[in-house]
């Protein structure tokens, strides 16, 4: 069942304006909300689309799928899949793709989902609770080196080694970790210093969530898929919430925003660039004051170039 907890969509107007190209005529064509969440962007897009427009949304979370059933607009459809499945849409069929990479507030604030150290609950963290391995299940068997690599690579945590050793030592002495409170307490004992105002478990929880959901791998797959499905002039709009995501998006846009020459064939025409970088937008001070979870958001906008002849 969908949580009653509320979610405030970050960069709502800015993202929809960037996707649809401003406040012009109601557009037609097929548009994609690649991460439905609680539907804030989707509902606003539908308000702007013309009668010949169609919005396809994706989400792995069963609660998000349930929320999507509240939308009865015939121009809307949703797929219970991760956004890497964007690649299954016909090539050149999409007028714009929006990716909001944030975890929704109901996911974070629901103790049963296990995303937050602020609430004690099962150590799950799966976006799709109908399939795959939970964090607790993975930590019950993973080796010290595996755990350390995940926490270091996805959480940029200096104390990844001591945390991993503490997790395995606890498992051998008293059995596997089962709850978010157990993990948060264990990390607090292993992390000797931390930035002022940040909980010692912040980076570890982020790392385990990213890993168990293969978030960065799926982002890379979805970005590549966008090049295939976007029609010439179609917009790609991506909202990131931490440096690992934004780095991938920034590098992807930069990579495809330049002509590539083959040094082995100096007189051959270059491979044409596939994207044009348009904008980088951060939330206003007023938005951050009203919704502190928006403070780390960065939105990047690019446009698909003309398809090569």
pLDDT tens digits, residue range 79-125?
A: 999 999 999 999 999 999 999 998 887 788 788 898 888 889 999 99
273 pLDDT exceeds 90? no
> Residue 107 annotated as binding?
yes
CATH of span 12-105+215-304: 3.40.50.150
> Residue 83 annotated as binding?
yes
Q: Report pLDDT for 25.
A: 61
The domains of the chain are located at: 12-105+215-304, 129-212
> Residue 59 annotated as binding?
yes
CATH topology of domain 129-212: DNA polymerase; domain 1 (1.10.150)
Tell which residue, 94, 65, 66, has the closest CA to residue 82: 65
- What does DSSP say about strands 230-240 and 298-304: parallel, antiparallel, or unpaired? antiparallel
309 pLDDT exceeds 80? no
Distances (CA, A) of 162 to 140, 171, 189, 192, 285: 17, 14, 10, 10, 38
Q: Supply the pTM of this predicted model.
A: 0.90
Biggest CA–CA distance in the chain, Å, is 68
For 214-257, what is each residue's pLDDT tens digit?
Answer: 999 999 999 999 999 999 999 999 999 999 999 999 999 999 99
> Residue 120 annotated as binding?
no
> Residue 242 annotated as binding?
no
> Residue 4 annotated as binding?
no
> Residue 82 annotated as binding?
no
d(CA 15, CA 13): 6
């Amino acid at each position: 069942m969908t949580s009653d907890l509320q979610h405030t969509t970050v960069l709502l107007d800015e993202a929809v304006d960037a996707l649809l190209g401003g406040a012009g005529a109601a557009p037609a064509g097929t548009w994609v909300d690649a991460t439905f969440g609680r539907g804030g962007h989707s509902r606003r897009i539908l308000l702007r689309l013309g009668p010949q427009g169609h919005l396809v949304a994706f989400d792995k979370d069963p609660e998000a799928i349930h929320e999507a059933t509240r939308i009865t607009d015939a121009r809307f459809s949703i797929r219970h899949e991760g956004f890497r499945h964007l690649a299954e849409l016909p090539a050149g069929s999409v007028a714009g793709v929006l990716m909001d990479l944030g975890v929704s507030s109901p996911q974070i604030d629901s103790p049963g989902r296990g995303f937050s150290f602020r609430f004690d609950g099962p150590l799950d963290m799966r976006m799709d609770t109908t399939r795959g391995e939970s964090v607790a299940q993975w930590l019950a068997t993973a080796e010290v080196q595996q755990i350390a690599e995940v926490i270091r690579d996805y959480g940029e945590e200096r104390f990844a080694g001591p945390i991993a050793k503490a997790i395995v030592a606890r498992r051998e002495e008293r059995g596997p970790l089962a709850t978010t409170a157990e993990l948060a307490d264990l990390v607090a004992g292993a992390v000797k210093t931390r930035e002022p105002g940040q909980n010692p478990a912040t980076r570890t929880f982020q790392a385990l969530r990213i890993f168990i959901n293969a978030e960065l791998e799926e982002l890379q797959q979805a970005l590549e898929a966008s090049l295939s499905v976007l029609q010439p002039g179609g917009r790609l709009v991506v909202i990131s919430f931490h440096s690992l995501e934004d780095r991938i998006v920034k590098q992807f846009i930069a990579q495809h925003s330049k002509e590539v020459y083959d040094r082995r064939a100096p007189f051959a025409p270059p491979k044409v660039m596939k994207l044009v970088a348009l904008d980088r937008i951060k939330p206003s001070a007023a938005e951050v004051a009203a919704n502190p979870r928006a403070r780390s958001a960065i939105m990047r906008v690019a446009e698909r170039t003309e398809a090569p002849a």
